[in-house]
Amino acid sequence: MLDQADFIARYDKHDALGVVANQPQQLRQKYELGDMRAFQDVGQVVVAGMGGSALAAEFVKNWIGNKLPVAMIIMRDYTLPTFVGAGTLVVVSSYSGNTEETLSALKYAEERGAKIVVMASGGKLLEAAKAKSLPYLELPGGLQPRMAVLYGVKALAELFEAVGFLSGLANELEAAGEWVADEVKGWAADVSTDQNQAKQVAKQLVGHPVVIYGGPMLRLPAMKWKIDANENAKNLAFYNYFPEFNHNEFLGWGNPSHSGIKVVELRSHLDLPHIQKRFDVTNKLCVGKFEPIEIFAEGKTKLEQMLWMLILGDFVMVYLAFLNGIDPTPVDLIEELKAELDK
């Protein structure tokens, strides 16, 4: 069915396939921040955001968190930690600009005298930034937040360069984006299932809850696969990562003995040998409990592998949405929840 244009057209009413295929182009986006020298003297960075609006920060932390000269913390809440103050850079991130938790976090950041940068495509958050003369990163609008993650990644990279944390980030992203743009062509709808890895994986997942496991190199893509399964395919999914998995969840595979859960393992040759051995030994010890779908990342660098695996997951879960008989783009239940909370 995934090779039939009329079948795909029946469900892809908002061109989700086109959006995910064009994600590498998001890394070409340029942002204007102005003079950020006053933001250089900070001891930590806090990114406040929810859902897809926090994913860009998760990506950057997975990518370069160990290279940053300051600690980077991601908060998914209405409040901020008590240490936030004049020495903290707070990035307030909401793609829509109207996320209530993030608007609340902005108030906390203001009350604490933090150095604030806003990241949004519009809404109340961007209006507040302009009214209060706060530096802001204005993201292109019109997408679902989970499909605009790379806009946010590029924006944060430019911010971190502007405040002097690291250099060369934007150029590295643009180069990796050019490379992955060629790779994603093999997952397009006009590539038949027998040659299309994304379609093949989607067919294996349909009708099952899904668990995605990654190692340190691909922890963020594993999280994004889980989110895409939930939001695109409206499919139950979870994720975890090695080596933490082996200290708790590993034992949980004892019961129930026939859960019907499909396991996807996102693997990187850049992970430490000890991590790669954990995958192999785990799979050996779990024979009869699960049979993993192992996916080995393409790319020479950590960034290339992260982008490759992230976008592959986007394609997989869009195809899974079609097999589930739904349009992957709308998130009606979330909109209903927001409406109920506003009453």
Residues marked active site are found at 231, 247, 338
41: left (phi over 0), alpha (psi -120 to 50) or beta: beta
Measured CA to CA, the distance from residue 33 to residue 312 in angstroms comes to: 32
72 forms bridges with which residues in the sheet?
45
Q: How far is CA 115 from CA 74, 86, 118, in A?
A: 16, 6, 10
Cα angle 318-191-10, degrees, rounded to a multiple of 5: 45
| Cβ neighbours for 299, distance < 8 A, ≥ 6 positions apart | 176, 179, 180, 305, 307, 308
Tokens of 128: 């507040």
Q: Quickly list DSSP for 263-325.
A: EEEEE-TTS-HHHHHHHHHHHHHTTTT---EEEEPP-SSHHHHHHHHHHHHHHHHHHHHHHTT
Distance between terminal CA atoms of the chain? 42
The DSSP secondary-structure symbol of 342 reads T
Nearest one of 115, 189, 145, 141 to 29, comparing CA atoms: 141
Provide the token pair at 180: 């992955």
Q: Closest Cα partner for 75 from 96, 107, 100, 101?
A: 101
CA distances from residue 18 to 10, 187, 283, 315 in whole angstroms, order as listed: 15, 11, 36, 10
Beta-strand relationship, 262-267 and 88-93:
unpaired
Burial 14-35 (b: 16+ CB within 10 A, else e): eebbebbbebbebbebebebee
Beta bridge partners of 214: 241, 266
